[in-house]
Amino acid sequence: MKRKTFLKGLMGAAALAALPITAVAQEAIKIGEINHYKRMAAFAEPYKKGIELALEQVNGAGGVMGRPIEFIFRDDQGEPGEAVKIAEELMTRDGAVMLTGTILSNVGLAISSLAAQKGYVYLASEPLADSIVWASGNPYTFRLRSSTYMQAAMLAEEAAKTDAKTFATIAPNYAYGKDAVAAFKENLLKLKPDAEFVAEQWPALFKIDAGAEVQAIERAKPDAIYNVTFGPDLAKLVREGTDRGLFDGRQVFGLLSGEPEYLDPLGEEAPEGWIVTGYPWYDLNDGPGGEFVAAYQERWGDYPRLGSIVGYMTVQSIAAALEKAGSTETDAIRAAFDDLSLDTPMGPITYRAIDHQSTMGAYVGTIALRDGKGVMVDWEYKDGANYLPSDEEVKALRPAE
């Protein structure tokens, strides 16, 4: 009797094992998330917290297609080669159905290239280089964050309103910095054809010689400065420029300079009067933006950074795409991202089918000191859809598919 019972149990277990996994338990939908968690912790850690908050909300509401979403977090050390290796492992070994993440543009471009070669869907959540969706665009890569071009166009619009005629630029010497300067020039010259660029400085990323850069810009005597440095490079530039009077009597336009990740470490040294793109979470009290800030603070006991909302919207975007696709198959997910629309804490956004760029916008305002730290004042949210090239221009920029 014992032997018969044992054999019957084995047969039952075998039959159970033969059933689809979903018939036994709802298996998680795995997403491969690659980022520079150690190298760029100031941005990546709030970004991860935004992801985790959104996952709790999505999964708490039943997940997608009745299944929870699970992110597999991997650190690439900010190295393109390591990121590509990890991406392969996530897709072939770990069961991820798509990839997302990265901050640095050179790493994002490396993963995007792999996505095109292997047919992996990749949502570039943060990298800002324009080539990700244009010159190097491909059918499998989509980008969430408002691009370099979009944010540069917003600042060029503000610069065109001033009396400044001559401009100097300073930007890190890699894809993001090059794109940022080119976009600012293009858009400013459309609005102010008599504008002149009298100096360009290209420090290596995170290796700026701020004293030498400040001297070079001062020698050119520009009316205004366009700054693209961020992180420790921004802090060094602000300190040296302030000490040497570089910013006195000059308007400065700072890409990303109003983001809490980069503005907060400056403390009382925050450069008042700069016109910047950033994230004024402290003034967001109502609507979806205010609800996100409140939920984030309640969950983490800390205020959100720009990375926080990018991480949160990354999960929102992936969940919406999976829901629309009704499948975890690559082709279905890829097709679902085309013209995908969703509501976010920054308002409605759409992933444009023409170039896979989302219409996520940015906040533009002026730096001021409040309680001993820099904040954005007189800010407004600019809809990204209003700061993109025409369809004809995009078709010329993007390779045929």
Whether the pLDDT of residue 337 is over 90: the answer is: yes
Residue 100: C-alpha distances to residues 41, 122, 346, 352, 376 (Å): 17, 5, 20, 18, 30
Query: What pLDDT does residue 175 have?
Result: 83
Q: How do the domains of the chain map onto residue ranges?
A: 26-147+285-361, 149-280+363-387
The Cα angle at residue 351 between residues 255 and 112, in degrees rounded to 5? 75
Q: Give the pLDDT mean for 368-376.
A: 96
pLDDT in tens, 82-96: 999 999 999 999 999
Per the listing, tokens 């009704």 go with: 326
Whether the pLDDT of residue 29 is over 70: the answer is: yes
Whether the pLDDT of residue 346 is over 50: the answer is: yes
Whether the pLDDT of residue 59 is over 50: the answer is: yes
Comparing CA positions, the residue from 176, 96, 170 lying closest to residue 132 is 176
Whether the pLDDT of residue 18 is over 70: the answer is: no
Q: Give the pLDDT mean for 27-32.
A: 97
Alpha-carbon distance of 264 to 304, in angstroms, equals 12
CATH topology of domain 26-147+285-361: Rossmann fold (3.40.50)
Comparing CA positions, the residue from 344, 343, 347, 326 lying closest to residue 335 is 326
Q: Give the pLDDT mean for 321-339.
A: 98
Whether the pLDDT of residue 5 is over 50: the answer is: no
Whether the pLDDT of residue 361 is over 80: the answer is: yes
Between strands 347-351 and 251-258, the pairing is unpaired
* Per-residue confidence band for 176, with pLDDT thresholds at 50, 70 and 90: confident
pLDDT in tens, 129-158: 899 999 999 999 999 999 999 999 999 999
* Residue 271 contacts residue 242 (beta carbons within 8 Å): yes
* Residue 110 contacts residue 331 (beta carbons within 8 Å): no
Query: What pLDDT does residue 400 have?
Result: 77
Comparing CA positions, the residue from 109, 176, 130 lying closest to residue 387 is 130
Query: 62 burial class (0-12, 13-18, 19+ CB within 10 angstroms)?
Result: exposed
Comparing CA positions, the residue from 167, 58, 38, 60 lying closest to residue 104 is 38
> Looking at per-residue confidence, does 16 or 48 come out higher?
48
Whether the pLDDT of residue 64 is over 60: the answer is: yes
User: Dihedral angle at the C-alpha atoms of 44, 45, 49, 50, nearest 10 degrees?
Assistant: -30
- The answer to whether the 26-147+285-361 and 149-280+363-387 domains have the same CATH topology is yes
> Looking at per-residue confidence, does 6 or 220 come out higher?
220
Q: Give the pLDDT mean for 24-40.
A: 89
Alpha-carbon distance of 143 to 151, in angstroms, equals 14
Residue 124's DSSP bridge partners are 101, 143
Whether the pLDDT of residue 32 is over 90: the answer is: yes
Q: Give the pLDDT mean for 174-203.
A: 96
Query: What pLDDT does residue 25 have?
Result: 52
> Looking at per-residue confidence, does 13 or 391 come out higher?
391
- % of the chain with per-residue pLDDT over 90: 89
Query: What pLDDT does residue 202 have?
Result: 98
Please state which architecture CATH assigns to domain 149-280+363-387.
3-Layer(aba) Sandwich (3.40)
Whether the pLDDT of residue 15 is over 70: the answer is: no
pLDDT in tens, 199-221: 999 999 999 999 999 999 999 99
Comparing CA positions, the residue from 150, 163, 158, 217 lying closest to residue 188 is 158
Q: Residue 74 has which token pair?
A: 């991997």
When the pLDDT of each residue in the chain is averaged and rounded to a whole number, the result is 93
For the chain, what is the radius of gyration of the CA atoms?
A: 23
Query: What pLDDT does residue 399 have?
Result: 87
Alpha-carbon distance of 34 to 114, in angstroms, equals 13
Could you say which DSSP state residue 136 is in? T
Contacts of 90 (CB under 8 A, 6+ apart): 32, 34, 72, 74, 96, 99
Q: Give the pLDDT mean for 358-363.
A: 98
Query: What pLDDT does residue 82 have?
Result: 97
Q: Residue 183 has which token pair?
A: 């976009």
